[in-house]
A and B are shown apart, each in its own frame.
Chain A
Amino acid sequence: MSIKEKEDALVGEFELFDEWMDKYSYIIELGKEMPMIDTKFKDPQHIISGCQSRVWLHAELVDGKINFTADSDAVITKGIVSLLLRVVSGEEPKDIANTDFAFLEQIGLQDHLSPTRANGLVSMVKQIKLYARAFLLKSMS
């Protein structure tokens, strides 16, 4: 599935929820389920600090595709991290570099990506793209 197709599938999933509570319960569930980052990557090098919650992000290139793993100390942040990673993980660097995660607006979660939230998510999106660009440059050199 392409990034676009994965985003559309997520929007479809969220359309099933009429109530905010169902939506957030689902995010919380995702947050609890998300595969943990290897504990050796939960170090200061991989931390993305917001003053509200913290995110750890690790990326590796396997067969020309980037696999991301991550964690957060807040479960809602972690749930949203899991949505973002579901979209980009396993994709090629050039596709990830061009992604803007606009689907978050369609499912009404764009507020969590507002810089004022200070939850680490905005910086995480930046970091995902930095990884993508770095791997892209490496593959070209």
Chain B
Amino acid sequence: MKLDINKIRADFPILSRKVNGKQLIYFDNGATTQKPKQVIDSIVNYYSNINSNVHRGVHSLSQEATTAYEEARKNIAKYINAKSEKEIIFTKGTTESINLMSNVLTDWIQKNDEIIITSMEHHSNLVPWQQLCKEKEAKLQIIPANRNGEIDLDLYEEMLNPKVKLVAFAHISNVLGTINPAKEMIELAHKYGVPVLVDGAQAIAHTKVDVQDLNCDFYCFSAHKAYGPMGIGVLFGKESWLKQLKPFHYGGEMIENVTFEESTFNSLPYKYEAGTPNVEGVLAMETALKYIDELGIENIKEYEDELLEYATKQLLEIEGVRIIGTAKNKTAVLSFVVNGIHPYDIGTLLDQMGVAVRTGNHCAQPLIEQYNIPGTVRASFAIYNTKEEVDYFVDALKISLSMLA
């Protein structure tokens, strides 16, 4: 189905603003996406009409808020095709989801055990495991990627052995745009009895996420990279796992019975949700995922792939441009460097022309160092971007390069 992009653009109030006197062109969607008015309205509506603490009050308002909150959990579970809403834990976002896991898995990892990650991980899916390995005297093993930014599955299988206790990898790389062969990687790990955590931060708004089909044990994502608000995200975990792991934070809501000597803990998902949750965030995240669902994730992917192809072709025509991340299976992330020119300089000049891109190491320092570059310029697309914007961006880039030459 063809999407009506002009109609979609009209849903995003921020797209009509100017930056440095120029029409904003927002190509920093890998960092965070803009929000449609439906999501903004959902937040206003929550505080105007429903606000009350959940799971506590006997009064009607609290019950209404609780119903909306739990209804959202069901819908979010449905969105990623989780078996049950008990498998949906609300967190602050991907980073907290991964840190939660690295905390509750401390007893699972022992001395000389191994944790496998890829060379293209965001620091959020690297540092927690690195630190856990240090603490437990375990080894962090890195699956290398080739020059195009693709994982070698044979090499990965060779790394699997009985000492491996966890595989953690990005569904989609935030620097290279590579869509990793998640299903195959998970299947291989399971062959060796190893559980798998998938960092879905870059995937949730750009490709179909079906946790039952993937058969991952844990899946993490943030709402704000999928048209939702900041400060809210999800940890999906298989019930069989979450049931046996220890709690993360202690406090209200996550307990069942408390005496001065002893506490027993609440059932899933509440065991992992201590304290008053971000109710407005959860409801707005539900709205955002519904927004994606109504457009159809397959339609979104098709359109974004078209944009990526269009932009890639034009960039390659500019002398000196080298694209970093040329995997066959990639999504709407376009990282590049230009011979002898620092990414910061390009980003600064593009900003003067109203184009918002990201520059630097994209919180993936070890990956950038492998390419022996000071960083990249990254244009990352979302559903409201257009070919006209790509044209303007390419012109602005040409102007920047001629100024810097």
Size band of the interface chain B makes with A: 10 to 19
Q: Is A51 an interface residue (CB 8 A)?
A: yes
* Residue in contact with B342 in the complex, picked from A20, A21, A25, A53, CB distance below 8 Å: A53
Q: Is A41 an interface residue (CB 8 A)?
A: no
* Residue in contact with A52 in the complex, picked from B341, B349, B359, B404, CB distance below 8 Å: B359
Instruction: Kindly supply a per-residue 1/0 record for chain B positions 345-375, scoring 1 wherever the CB is within 8 Å of any chain A CB and 0 otherwise.
Output: 1011100100000011100000000000011
A71 to chain B, nearest CB (A): 12
- Please measure, in the bound complex, the distance between the C-alpha atom of A53 and the C-alpha atom of B377, giving whole angstroms: 13
B386 to chain A, nearest CB (A): 24
Given the known inter-chain contacts A20-B20, A25-B403, A52-B375, please indicate yes or no for A76 contacting B348, CB distance below 8 A.
yes
Contact B344 A24 (CB under 8 A): no
Residues in B with CB closer than 8 Å to A77 are: 344-345
Residues in B with CB closer than 8 Å to A51 are: 360-361
Contact A28 B344 (CB under 8 A): no
Contact A21 B344 (CB under 8 A): no
- Please measure, in the bound complex, the distance between the C-alpha atom of A24 and the C-alpha atom of B359, giving whole angstroms: 18
Q: Is A59 an interface residue (CB 8 A)?
A: no
B16 to chain A, nearest CB (A): 22
A77 to chain B, nearest CB (A): 7
Given the known inter-chain contacts A51-B360, A52-B360, please indicate yes or no for A75 contacting B404, CB distance below 8 A.
yes
- Please measure, in the bound complex, the distance between the C-alpha atom of A25 and the C-alpha atom of B359, giving whole angstroms: 20
Contact A28 B404 (CB under 8 A): yes
Query: Can you name the residue of chain A whose Cβ is closest to the Cβ of B340?
Result: A75
Q: Which of A24, A77, A112 has the most CB of B within 10 A?
A: A24
Q: Which of B345, B347, B349, B399 has the most CB of A within 10 A?
A: B345
- Please measure, in the bound complex, the distance between the C-alpha atom of A24 and the C-alpha atom of B403, giving whole angstroms: 8
Residues in A with CB closer than 8 Å to B347 are: 52
Contact B344 A52 (CB under 8 A): yes
Query: Can you name the residue of chain B whose Cβ is closest to the Cβ of A51?
Result: B360
Instruction: Kindly supply a per-residue 1/0 record for chain B positions 39-72, scoring 1 wherever the CB is within 8 Å of any chain A CB and 0 otherwise.
Output: 0000000000000000000000000000000000
Contact A20 B403 (CB under 8 A): no
* Residue in contact with A76 in the complex, picked from B20, B345, B361, B399, CB distance below 8 Å: B345
Within 8 A of A (CB), among B161-197: none
Residues in A with CB closer than 8 Å to B348 are: 24, 76, 112
Q: Is A15 an interface residue (CB 8 A)?
A: no
Residues in A with CB closer than 8 Å to B404 are: 28, 75
Contact B360 A74 (CB under 8 A): no
Within 8 A of A (CB), among B369-385: 374-375
- Please measure, in the bound complex, the distance between the C-alpha atom of A73 and the C-alpha atom of B373, giving whole angstroms: 11
A75 to chain B, nearest CB (A): 5
Q: Is A119 an interface residue (CB 8 A)?
A: yes
- Please measure, in the bound complex, the distance between the C-alpha atom of A85 and the C-alpha atom of B347, giving whole angstroms: 24
Residues in A with CB closer than 8 Å to B20 are: 20
Query: Can you name the residue of chain A whose Cβ is closest to the Cβ of B400?
Result: A24
- Please measure, in the bound complex, the distance between the C-alpha atom of A141 and the C-alpha atom of B374, giving whole angstroms: 43
Instruction: Kindly supply a per-residue 1/0 record for chain B positions 13-34, scoring 1 wherever the CB is within 8 Å of any chain A CB and 0 otherwise.
Output: 0000000100000000000000
- Which 8 residue pairs are nearest across A and B when measured between Cβ atoms? A74-B342, A74-B344, A53-B344, A52-B344, A76-B345, A52-B360, A20-B352, A74-B345
Instruction: With A52-B344, A118-B360 given, name 16 new contacts (CB 8 A).
Output: A21-B403, A28-B403, A28-B404, A52-B343, A53-B374, A73-B342, A73-B374, A74-B344, A75-B341, A75-B342, A75-B345, A76-B344, A76-B349, A77-B344, A112-B348, A119-B344
A-B contact pairs, 23 of them (CB 8 A): A21-B352, A21-B399, A21-B403, A24-B348, A24-B349, A25-B403, A28-B404, A51-B360, A52-B343, A52-B344, A52-B359, A52-B360, A53-B342, A53-B344, A53-B374, A73-B374, A74-B344, A75-B341, A76-B344, A76-B345, A76-B348, A76-B349, A119-B344
